[in-house]
Amino acid sequence: MTENRGRQLLPGQTSRVHVYDVETRSSRLVFESATVLVEAPNVLDDDTLVLNGDGDLWLLRLPAAGSDTVLDESALVAVPMDGVDEINNDHVLDPSGSSIVVSARNGELYRVPLPEGGATEQITDAAAVLPVTRKFYLHGIAPDGSSLAAIVGELSEDGVWTTDVALVDPVTGEPTFVTRDEHHDDGCTISPAGGILLWNTERFTPGTAQLASLWPGHGNPVRLTNDDRVNWFPHLSPDGAHLLYLSYEPGVQGHPADQRVELRLLPGSLVRGARIAVAPETLVALDGGQGTVNVPPWAPDSTWFAYCDYPVGPVGTGDLAR
């Protein structure tokens, strides 16, 4: 593994991967390492996760269901990415399952074949807007693969950094901006049925991120969460039944690592326009944040998802709320 690339573990810290069964409301530890920090699991199939770590892309084949085996870094299989030096933790599987689109540290989006890796295709051209510095951060792909849901960060000549929601053409790399304002936006994805955009934004409560949705043809996003916690990374399950998200404690700025956070669940019907009074359910409280569920972590059948945590010192497998 390449050293000194990407985020690194703190002294005494471990990087862990869990799978969470939604029906039984229970999690299972499947991976733990004290040497490599893995992040942002995607579920390739029933048996395989895709993660980033040390700036590279990795496959992790899960232990059999019911097994108490906990894998370590020796189980990680590298996915070669020719022409891509280093990626961050924003990567999303193509619906076909034959490739993954990754966000590179240089700000561009690239397509990488799966599972074998190899020659990559550069999708975007951030240099096209120089002297403005532009970076793409991918969080979602339309169900038919026709567009990429990304956050476009731009640093102007005046030194002002903005983040906006955009749909990126996967062929030309051209972004069509959905938002273009001063509000901080992040974590943008597309509903599994297509059309509805989901993201976290500070437009409702400056300094405190809340979840929002936007239907096609509607001009204003609808607020989905309304509390004093800092809510990030909405992930609707493929069947549309569950809305999973990451929730920080009140007052946290941005989406930092090494925080006490919760994975919470809301009915997916809220995304489809239902107006019901419902309190979010805390599934797991954990030490994490950045890297825990930055990108879609659901299994295709919506019965389970994967997540990462980063405890320091000996702990259990997660503090379940139920």
Mean pLDDT calculated for residue range 201-207: 95
The answer, yes or no, to whether residue 303 has pLDDT greater than 70, is: yes
* pLDDT category of residue 315 using cuts at 50, 70 and 90: low
Whole-Å CA distances, 209 to 181, 236, 301: 15, 18, 29
Q: List domains and CATH numbers for the chain.
A: 15-313 (2.120.10.30)
pLDDT in tens, 28-50: 999 999 999 999 999 999 999 99
Structure token pair of residue 174: 């051209």
* pLDDT category of residue 6 using cuts at 50, 70 and 90: confident
Q: What is the pLDDT of residue 194?
A: 73
| Strand stretches in 156-311, DSSP E | 161-168, 175-177, 185-190, 197-201, 210-214, 222-223, 230-236, 242-248, 259-267, 281-288, 304-309
Mean pLDDT calculated for residue range 211-237: 95
The answer, yes or no, to whether residue 191 has pLDDT greater than 80, is: yes
Between 218 and 292, whose confidence is greater?
292
Mean pLDDT calculated for residue range 135-156: 96
- Fill in the amino acid letter for 20: Y
Q: What is the pLDDT of residue 5?
A: 66
Mean pLDDT calculated for residue range 74-102: 96
* pLDDT category of residue 321 using cuts at 50, 70 and 90: very low
* pLDDT category of residue 217 using cuts at 50, 70 and 90: confident
CA angle 246, 250, 252 (to 5 degrees): 75
The answer, yes or no, to whether residue 25 has pLDDT greater than 60, is: yes
Structure token pair of residue 75: 């189980």
pLDDT in tens, 254-268: 999 999 999 999 999
Mean pLDDT calculated for residue range 139-151: 96
The answer, yes or no, to whether residue 125 has pLDDT greater than 60, is: yes
Mean pLDDT calculated for residue range 4-29: 93
The answer, yes or no, to whether residue 1 has pLDDT greater than 80, is: no
The answer, yes or no, to whether residue 2 has pLDDT greater than 50, is: no
Q: Tell me the average pLDDT of the chain.
A: 93
Share of the chain above pLDDT 90, in %: 86
pLDDT in tens, 241-257: 999 999 999 999 999 99
Whole-Å CA distances, 220 to 41, 178, 197, 203, 204: 31, 10, 11, 11, 11
Element (H, E) at 20: strand 15-21
Q: What is the pLDDT of residue 316?
A: 47
Write down the pTM of the prediction: 0.94
Residue with tokens 């809340």: 210
* pLDDT category of residue 4 using cuts at 50, 70 and 90: very low
Whole-Å CA distances, 108 to 51, 65, 86, 136: 18, 37, 11, 6
For residue 124, give the nearest of 95, 97, 158, 90 by alpha carbon.
Answer: 90
Between 63 and 320, whose confidence is greater?
63
The answer, yes or no, to whether residue 319 has pLDDT greater than 60, is: no
Whole-Å CA distances, 200 to 112, 193, 207, 242: 27, 19, 12, 17
